[in-house]
Amino acid sequence: MWIIYTLNGLYFAALLFLISLGLNIILGVMGILNLAHGSLYAIGAFIAAWIIITLGTQVPPFFLYVSLLSGLVGVGIVGFLMEKSLIRFMYKRTLEYQLLLTFGALMLLEDVIKMIWGGQAYYASAPFELLGKVDIFGNVYPAYFLFVMFIALIAGLLIWLFMSKTKLGIMLRAISLDREMATGLGLDITGLSTFAFVLGAGLAGLAGALVVPTTPALLGFGHEPLIFGFIVVVVGGLGSLKGALVGSLLVGFTRSFGIAVFPEIELPLLFLIAGIILVVKPEGLFGR
Amino acid sequence: MGLTGMVKNPRWIVYSLIFIALLFIPRILSIHDLMLFEYGITFAIVGLGFNLLLGYTGLLSFGHGAYFAAGAYTIAMISKYFPQAYSLEILIPAALFFSMVLSIIFGFVCVRHTKIFFSILALSLSMLLFALLFKLYHITGGSDGLRVPLPTLLGMSFKGIRRPEFLSGTYYYFLLGMFSVSFLVMKGIVSSPFGKALQAIRDNEVRAELIGIRVRRYRLYAFVISGMFVGLGGALWTFVNGHVTADLSHWVFSGEIVYMTLLGGFGIFEGPIVGAIIFTYLKLYAMGNTQYWMFVIGGTLIVLVLLLPNGIAGAFAGLWTKIKKVIEET
């Protein structure tokens, strides 16, 4: 059984990693905590579910898996529109206004989801069922969960390579280190900020799309992942990519073993651990 | 400020006039509107407390729903487990006590940080309480919540009286009394040396530290006082609503507290009161007229942030200063 719990922990961690990576990129580059991040995740889930249901069973399975990318692209576009219309006015404003604006955007997007997809649940389990189950040391485990871990791993590696090796990534890191100095060096702050927001939003959308084959998309789909994302960001340290990875693993395993051992208090337990870490190390594990 | 000073200051004349007008509200409003107004008053107390932290100390908490829930659940728990103590003169101090205990524990962790880290930490801690209230359903009722009966007051029993009658009679005046006391106490706090010290911390932390203000301790005091006011608001709200759920500690509810404070304007003492009452009506109006009420509320918030950052009271105050200037010039 412990192998299953470990794998489940890794699976939770993989999803959380995608969510908190997006939160952290937006937070690091723009200094804005995006309270609407959970809604972006939910939009990704709805877009993917809708496309998978529309495609049905006629198409070759390969296309179903490619269609999961629609979450990334679709929410990237939503993120682009959101940044251009709202977020860009917030860079020079104080914290209260930044948070309240994204809070307003959260309420707006929740109802936009309701307007477009209505109140019913969207089931899109085809990609989950097609992969079947695999045998791991005598335990039967759904192969789709392994697929999600693989995708998160690839995404993480790509982001890491992008941030450390490409010029664009280095420019983004420069902005997150010192916005004023980066402006002074002539970096295109406006364009780069838009790019960072689109990237962060897209990652949330991808996470949503990856989840939807396992659980139906419902209203309020993004509430819980957002809170877990916050815990990861707080525990790992604000704006740190390494922190996002370690924080996701910590939260993922706590959750998976918590559900196994203390199913009633799994969530409070998680907050308790996060609280203890913060009392001991106030800036988070990898905070600056 | 002495009594003579209060009489000379036109502000206090306006306050007294408003208070007298408020005494007659139950005769003017219908029972439905009066209930809404009572929701508004409880949130006004919440807003006063919340603004001590946001407007005067410069800390934005996205988790004050936790202290609201602490006040509300104190009432619900006492009614469930100690029904013999279910009397307002015991309930209100108990609610103040438990919201104080909770805000000391949470505040101790939170005030080690400022800015965004403070906000997100306050949020996470309120979600800890939410998770407990939600999961321990055999004690707290979980997502169904708990029903709250009518309390007694100084030996007066309200048995056989329906909730609307209770709310439009005794309880309204009790609520008004609690609000007036909260208003005066908070006014005293913000104009005391302690209140000035908080404002100094808000404006320049380093300078405040250098002139000998113990920054972190003062922040904790502000946090606890603000938590107690919010807890009091939560307790009073419970009797109006008659029902408590775990959602009170959810961060979205905390967001609504921030929203109403900004709506009124957090730069002005009276701002949150105006915001609380307008928000109550705005939310109910939106909920009654469209199923997309969150769209309306969220859209209003965005417009507010972009165009009216000082809130409604702030906009009026700005307008008033301009008018005064024009009058003086001519």
Q: Which residue ranges make up each domain of chain A?
A: 2-280
CB < 8 Å to A99, chain B: 60, 62, 116, 119, 258
Residue A132 has pLDDT above 90, yes or no: no
Tell if the CB–CB gap between B259 and A103 is shorter than 8 Å. yes
Q: How far is CA A68 from CA A162, A226, A253, B11, in A?
A: 22, 20, 25, 62
pLDDT tens-place values along chain B, 330 residues long: 455 555 567 778 888 888 888 888 777 878 788 888 889 999 999 999 999 999 888 888 988 999 999 999 999 888 888 887 788 888 899 999 999 999 999 998 888 887 888 888 888 888 888 888 888 877 877 778 788 877 777 767 666 677 777 777 788 888 999 999 999 999 899 889 888 888 888 888 888 888 888 888 899 999 999 999 999 999 999 988 888 888 888 888 998 999 999 888 888 888 899 899 999 988 888 888 888 888 888 898 898 888 888 878 888 888 888 888 888 877
Q: How far apart are the C-alpha atoms of A212 and B192, rounded to whole Å?
A: 56
CB < 8 Å to A265, chain B: 132, 135-136
A122 — phi, psi (to 5°)?
Answer: -110, 115
Q: What is the pLDDT of residues B219-263, one digit of tens each?
A: 999 999 999 999 999 999 998 888 888 888 888 899 899 999 988
CB < 8 Å to B110, chain A: none
Q: What is the pLDDT of residues A229-262, one digit of tens each?
A: 888 888 888 777 888 888 899 989 888 888 888 7
B152 forms bridges with which residues in the sheet? B87
Tell if the CB–CB gap between A97 and B309 is shorter than 8 Å. yes
CB < 8 Å to A267, chain B: 131, 134-135
B260 to chain A: closest CA residue: A100
Q: What is the pLDDT of residues B139-162, one digit of tens each?
A: 877 778 788 877 777 767 666 677
Coil, strand or helix: which one is A219?
coil
Chain B CB within 8 Å of residue A259 CB: no
Tell if the CB–CB gap between B117 and A101 is shorter than 8 Å. no
Q: How far apart are the C-alpha atoms of A231 and A23, rounded to whole Å?
A: 11
Measured between its terminal Cα atoms, the distance across chain B in Å is: 33
Contacts of A102 (CB under 8 A, 6+ apart): A32, A33, A34, A35, A36, A87
**Among B303, B311, B280, B63, residue whose Cα is nearest residue A108:** B303
pLDDT at A119: 77
Residue type, B217: R
B293 to chain A: closest CA residue: A111
Q: How far is CA A189 from CA A29, A179, A196, B243, in A?
A: 10, 8, 10, 50
CB < 8 Å to B119, chain A: 33, 95, 99
pLDDT at B4: 58
A279 to chain B: closest CA residue: B109
DSSP codes joined into one string, B235-252: HHHHHHH-EE-GGGGSHH
Instruction: Give this complex's ipTM.
Output: 0.84
A98 to chain B: closest CA residue: B305
Q: How far is CA A205 from CA A40, A41, A81, B123, B318, in A?
A: 6, 5, 14, 23, 43
pLDDT at B158: 67
CB < 8 Å to B56, chain A: none
Residue A195 has pLDDT above 80, yes or no: yes
Chain B CB within 8 Å of residue A63 CB: no
Residue type, A105: A
B87 forms bridges with which residues in the sheet? B152
B244 — phi, psi (to 5°)?
Answer: -120, 145
pLDDT at A62: 78
pLDDT at B306: 86
| Helix count and strand count (H, E) for chain A | 13, 2
Looking at chain A from residue 24 to 53, which residues have their Cβ under 8 Å from any Cβ of chain B?
A: 27, 31, 33, 35
Q: Point out the residue among B124, B258, B299 whose CB comes nearest to the CB of A231.
A: B124
Tell if the CB–CB gap between A101 and B302 is shorter than 8 Å. yes
Domain range for B50 is 25-248
B291 to chain A: closest CA residue: A111
pLDDT more than 90, % of chain A: 26
**Among A116, A57, A271, residue whose Cα is nearest residue B251:** A271
Asked whether the beta carbons of B52 and B186 are under 8 A apart, the reply is yes
Tokens of B203: 């404006």
| Helix count and strand count (H, E) for chain B | 17, 2
**CATH number for domain A2-280, candidates 1.20.1440, 1.10.3470, 1.10.40, 3.40.50:** 1.10.3470
Q: Is residue B60 part of a domain?
A: yes
Q: What is the b/e burial string over B288-302, where b = at least 16 CB atoms within 10 angstroms of the residue's CB?
A: eeeebbbbbbbbbbb
Q: Is residue B232 part of a domain?
A: yes
Tokens of A259: 């559900």
CA Rg, chain A, in Å?
A: 19
Q: How many domains does chain B have?
A: 1
Residue to mutate among A112, A271, A279, with most B CBs inside 10 A, is A271
Chain B CB within 8 Å of residue A282 CB: yes
Q: How far apart are the C-alpha atoms of B99 and B70, rounded to whole Å?
A: 5
pLDDT at B246: 86
Which pLDDT band, with edges at 50, 70 and 90, does A126 fall under? confident
pLDDT at A6: 87
Round the average pLDDT of chain A to a whole number and report it.
86
From A131-140, A224-233, B63-72, the region with the lowest mean pLDDT: A131-140
Q: What is the b/e burial string over A57-91, where b = at least 16 CB atoms within 10 angstroms of the residue's CB?
A: eeeeeeebbebbbbbbebbbebbbebbeebbeebe
Segment holding A142, helix H or strand E: strand A139-142
B126 to chain A: closest CA residue: A271
Residue A205 has pLDDT above 90, yes or no: yes
